[in-house]
Amino acid sequence: MEDNARLALLKKAIQFNTANGNEAPLAQWLQQVLAEHGIQSELVEFAPHRAGLVAEIGTGQEPILAFAGHLDTVAPNAAGAWQTDPFAAAIHDGAIYGRGAVDMKGGLIATVIALIELHAAGLPKAGTIRLLLSGDEEGSGTGATALTQRGYLAGVKALVMAEASSQTIEYAHCGSFDYIVHARGKAVHSSTPVLGHNALMDLVDFIKAEQTAFEDVANSPILGALVHSITVLHGGEQLNTIPDAAFLKGNVRTIPECDNQATQARLQAIIERLNQGGAALELEVVGDFAPVVTDPANPFITQVQAAVKEINQVDAPVVISKGATDASMYVKGNPDFAFVEYGPGDDTQSHQVNEHLNLAEFLAAPAVYQQIAHNFFAALDKE
């Protein structure tokens, strides 16, 4: 595929506004693009106007190599601060600007192009390449959950997440456990607080307990320490009224040594203890992304390193990430696949005003993905 055709696909993808949902039109367009190149695919609807897409090339048999990405983006935010329309996909000084250019329509379109070019070459001769495109990655991961529940991770031996990776290869990332603690109290005049129950003070007690709730968790030899934070606190509407309702929000970057289930149990234990003392707290889980870790000695990591070296003539560092991806949902359907995260773009551009992607990185990415596929299947042939 010529570079102009590749850029046209990327521009069109960025011009779809998939912020906070509405991925279905983009998924339908990509289904049409793949069909024009002889590749059949399936739309996976998971909510009104929301859908993912799954496509395969090859024999339909194992081994299966998967490439994955997400269709949704965050909102443009501060749209007036952008130098260009965030959905115009303007090109300036060797970069394309737009919401989602880096996170992650560059990587997503690069995988689509790689699939088209591999199929045109009659590859793979043995085994299967599966493309997994989800929605709601920027939310609670319901799109990836839908793909997992439908069995699309079955048989996958290795998976490349095409998120922007700042020219590194990431082989492990923390999980993310997002929660809300709701507090119920009794409203009274602030001159007689003993007649009421201050919901905010129950949350203060929870915050104090949460600060030490993970002190005994051992560091992961790969991912390091578990990280936990209270990020939002809200309660009360009137200066002279004791608040009868309040809530806080928190996030835990989980590790295998204290995974999401264990994290939830620790937070619930705090709540139960405080409730026994007279509080009225309730835990709500709003995000549940599991940690994902590939053994550093897994040969797939070496295969990806070799592919990047072959195409880009650089030695890409192999690192870990604290951020979660859709792989957190996919491991629930298949905990055994080897995982790497590699994609075009500087990840620090994600969610930023004037988000932009280096075009040279984007144009090289499809060849890297094709080389990864070649290395993967060639290594299996030698086994």
Task: Judge whether 346 counts as a catalytic residue.
Answer: no
**How many whole angstroms separate alpha carbon 111 and alpha carbon 353?**
25
Residue 188 CB: number of other CB atoms within 10 A? 16
Active-site residue identified among 72, 288, 326, 361: 72
CA angle in degrees (0–180, nearest 5) for 114-35-74: 65
363: closest CA among 96, 29, 32? 96
- Helix-, strand-, coil-residue percentages of the chain, each rounded to 5: 35, 25, 40
**How many whole angstroms separate alpha carbon 128 and alpha carbon 134?**
19
**How many whole angstroms separate alpha carbon 173 and alpha carbon 165?**
12
**How many whole angstroms separate alpha carbon 252 and alpha carbon 232?**
13
Pair of tokens at residue 9: 């696909």
3-state secondary structure at position 178: strand
Pair of tokens at residue 340: 């790497």
Task: Judge whether 137 counts as a catalytic residue.
Answer: yes
For tokens 């930023």, what's the residue? Answer: 352
Active-site residue identified among 137, 210, 341, 355: 137
Q: Provide the annotated active-site residues.
A: 72, 137
